Amino acid sequence: MCGTDQKLIWNGGGKLVEKDFYSELSNIVSTEQIKKDELLARHTTFRIGGPADYFVTVTNAQEAAEVLKLCSDRKVPYFVIGNGSNLLVSDKGYRGVIIKFTEKLCSVWIEEQPGYLAARAGAGAALAQFAREVARQKGAGFEFAAGIPGSVGGAVYMNAGAYGGEIKDSLTRVRVMDRSGNIMEKEAAELELSYRSSRLSAKGWYVLEAEFQFEMGKADEILQKIEELSRRRSLKQPLEYPSAGSTFKRPEGSFAGKLIMEAGLAGLRVGGAQISTKHCGFIVNTGRASACDVMRLMHQVQKAVREKFEIDLEPEIRLLGEI
């Protein structure tokens, strides 16, 4: 344990012992799609995280629904992962099943309609590539998304945003499945998207596909804006180090990075984790950071900012496993 009081997404203990579980799983997906004791550091942009008991890739909605139903029926903990770009995973890993969407669940469809551009993407699709494709097909207003290294599903879950834009602005509908594997269509409004937050988890829904509408613009101007935002990002953000993006949410009326800098914490280290000197809103992995290092550093930052400014910084990154 790191000795912190952060809430965990799942805080189970002990090794998965269900003997029949593997064979039931392999009745749904091929054995190549099931990895045992897969190191989650390979699946997070922080490059941190111990092994998951099972790491299962699902290629279509049917498989996704059946795996989810099996886990629910067998009471085996599970977690749907996107691109792992907003996650801090325990050094002890995850006792349960990590589910990752691939193949058909990564497809993208884009179609010009009278007066607007309609676009649909599988939850596993890379948000940045999707945003560039939208731009090439003259969809405007999604430029902010081209620099966010998440999946479409993770971006909807987080209501990802940057430079004044967010997913909420253009999302119209989603195809979701619930914990029993039922697949449903929902209006975007039902997700109650707000700043880096959605009601997906509260409702027990997982995104399979997301539909967007964009105003039409000029492809060259839109692509130029993407390049400009990308230049701004690489100038201001420590993209040369593994991280999970902004560590803390923006507190009302201020910026987490500014408060952390003004508290004199730039460059502060715990083990291999460091407050970036380029952008104090980021904790970076300088090489061999553990999840414990990151948690301890987050804790020190929260304490210092609370003492200096009486502001509580809320983590933006999601914690997974027993940290």
Ligand X SMILES: Cc1cc2nc3c(=O)[nH]c(=O)nc-3n(C[C@H](O)[C@H](O)[C@H](O)COP(=O)(O)OP(=O)(O)OC[C@H]3O[C@@H](n4cnc5c(N)ncnc54)[C@H](O)[C@@H]3O)c2cc1C
Shortest distance, position 307 Cβ to ligand X, whole Å: 27
* Binding residues among 231-250 for ligand X as defined by CB under 6 A: 239, 243-245
Q: Which of 55, 78, 130, 206 binds ligand X (CB under 6 A)?
A: 206
Of 30 and 234, which has the nearer Cβ to ligand X? 234
Task: Map residues 5-24 to x or -, x wherever contact with ligand X holds by CB under 6 A.
Answer: --------------------
Q: What's the rounded Cα separation, in Å, for the pair 101 and 87?
A: 16
Q: Which of 139, 141, 149, 281 binds ligand X (CB under 6 A)?
A: 149
Our CA dihedral for 8, 11, 16, 17, rounded to 10 degrees, sits at: -170
Of 158 and 171, which has the nearer Cβ to ligand X? 158
* Catalytically annotated residue among 85, 151, 243, 246: 246
Please, what's the b/e burial string for 27-44 (b: 16 or more CB within 10 A of its CB; e: otherwise)?
ebbeeebbbeebebbebb
Q: Interface with ligand X includes 45 (CB under 6 A)? A: yes
Of 123 and 222, which has the nearer Cβ to ligand X? 123
Q: Which of 148, 188, 297, 305 binds ligand X (CB under 6 A)?
A: 148
Q: Which of 61, 160, 188, 275 binds ligand X (CB under 6 A)?
A: 160
Q: Interface with ligand X includes 151 (CB under 6 A)? A: yes
Q: Which amino acid is at 138?
A: K
Contact 284, 317 (CB under 8 A): no
SS3 state at 191: helix
Q: Which of 93, 96, 139, 153 binds ligand X (CB under 6 A)?
A: 153
User: Which residue from 94, 4, 6, 104 is spatially nearest to 43, judged by alpha carbons?
Assistant: 94
* Catalytically annotated residue among 47, 74, 179, 196: 196
Phi, psi torsion values for 245, nearest 5 degrees: 75, -150
Stretch that binds ligand X, among 22-30, 132-140, 154-162, 224-232 (CB under 6 A): 154-162
Neighbours of 15 (CB within 10 A): 6
Q: What's the rounded Cα separation, in Å, for the pair 155 and 153?
A: 5
Q: What's the rounded Cα separation, in Å, for the pair 255 and 281?
A: 8
Q: What's the rounded Cα separation, in Å, for the pair 300 and 283?
A: 12
Active site residue 180: no
Shortest distance, position 90 Cβ to ligand X, whole Å: 14
Active site residue 42: no
Q: Which residue has the tokens 């004791």?
A: 37
Q: Interface with ligand X includes 90 (CB under 6 A)? A: no
Stretch that binds ligand X, among 10-18, 85-93, 224-232, 293-301 (CB under 6 A): 85-93
Q: Interface with ligand X includes 285 (CB under 6 A)? A: no
Q: What's the rounded Cα separation, in Å, for the pair 92 and 271?
A: 17
Of 149 and 181, which has the nearer Cβ to ligand X? 149
Q: State the number of CA atoms in the 13 A half-sphere of 221 facing the CB.
A: 7
Token code pair at residue 85? 């770009």
**Positions marked catalytic:** 196, 246, 316
The site for ligand X (CB under 6 A) is made up of 45, 79-87, 123, 148-151, 153-155, 157-158, 160-162, 200, 206-207, 239, 243-245, 318
